[in-house]
Amino acid sequence: MVEIEYDKEAPVWLGQWLTDEEINERYTSILQANAKSYSMRLKRMVLTFSKFSLRATLDQFHPVWQLKDGEWCCRCDCGSPRGCVHTYLATFLFKLVCQKEGWQLPSAAQLSVPQSNSTQTPAKPASDARPQQLSFFENEPATGTSTPVRPVPKKRYSLVCEADFTSNRYGVILRFFRVEDGYRYPMLMSAVRLLGAEFERVEAQKMEPTAIWPEKDKEFIKWLYPKMMELNFTQLGNRELFLTPKDFWRWMDRWSQEPGRIVEHNSQKGMETLDIGVPKGLAVRLFDHG
């Protein structure tokens, strides 16, 4: 079992640490789930606390959380431009440590976590400087302990798929967006694939889904999943998917009956409402020779 190594003394900034809500605002439930499953493959997890920072070593990566002017900012050497699995994992592991040690987190005030039976107090002088170790997920609810977990309201997402006929003269560019609170967030193909995998897993194992998606979107994403499995590494890192005209019309054969399933980029109208003006078969030929 992988153990978390951590400094024995509670950090001085404990009372200013991020609340669960703040963490959930920064990281989607999908990223959180990915991070937790990724963590199962890690061989080394270390947390160290300094006066203004939380540093982690997660195998070869080193996420850092730093308190600057009362604000927590994070960075990581994995190169991910936005919040990555490592910076999230640092918060998750830190929370596990706090639960284990009975260190009172700001958000834990309403949680009424029962103090662990150990008599340790946060300010106990570190007479023994050896780092503590915590068996990974020891305190996780799934392992049968009784730590109460406040239910986090599930996020509601939906999916937009848009087809762009003007950017590439050889075919159709598709883009996928996760919609949250009316905002669109472009998705990497790897994210579309992960979502397909998650839906499959939730269904197969009758698990609780981590977020709420419309049934129609789930159906579409599950249909996309095998197609995403065929993409190579470079394609998975893109936010655009190129389809030949033939392939595109094959997609449309399946989805054109569903209103708004695929919207046209410039008009943002559902493909089924567009007057394409030529029969599908002819359009294929026009594209091919275009």
Rounded least distance, CB 87 to Zn ion, Å: 6
Residue from 78, 197, 211, 283 touching Zn ion (CB under 5 A): that is 78
* Structure token digits, residue 280: 């599908």
Q: Are 178 and 192 in contact (CB under 8 A)?
A: no
Q: Toward Zn ion, which CB reaches closer, 25 or 59?
A: 59
Q: Are 20 and 107 in contact (CB under 8 A)?
A: yes
76 contacts Zn ion (rule: CB under 5 A): yes
Rounded least distance, CB 137 to Zn ion, Å: 21
Q: Segment contacting Zn ion (CB under 5 A): 76-84, 95-103, 245-253, 272-280?
A: 76-84
CA distances from 43 to 57, 72, 93, 184, 276 (A): 10, 27, 14, 36, 55
Number of Cβ within a 10 Å radius of residue 149: 10
Number of separate helices (H) and strands (E) present in the chain:
8, 13
Count of residues interacting with Zn ion (CB under 5 A): 4
Rounded least distance, CB 85 to Zn ion, Å: 6
Q: Segment contacting Zn ion (CB under 5 A): 85-93, 137-145, 167-175, 214-222?
A: 85-93
Rounded least distance, CB 171 to Zn ion, Å: 34
Q: Segment contacting Zn ion (CB under 5 A): 6-14, 47-55, 70-78, 101-109?
A: 70-78
According to CB under 5 A, which residues from 108 to 127 bind Zn ion? none
Rounded least distance, CB 82 to Zn ion, Å: 10
Q: Toward Zn ion, which CB reaches closer, 85 or 160?
A: 85
89 contacts Zn ion (rule: CB under 5 A): no
Q: Among 110, 113, 111, which residue's Cα sits nearest to residue 99?
A: 113
92 contacts Zn ion (rule: CB under 5 A): no
Q: Are 30 and 210 in contact (CB under 8 A)?
A: yes
From CA 162, how far away is CA 245, in angstroms rounded? 15
| Sequence-distant (≥ 6) Cβ neighbours of residue 91 within 8 angstroms | 18, 23, 65
Q: Among 288, 243, 252, which residue's Cα sits nearest to residue 270?
A: 252
Residue from 84, 89, 113, 224 touching Zn ion (CB under 5 A): that is 84
91 contacts Zn ion (rule: CB under 5 A): no
Binding residues vs Zn ion (CB under 5 A)? 76, 78, 84, 86
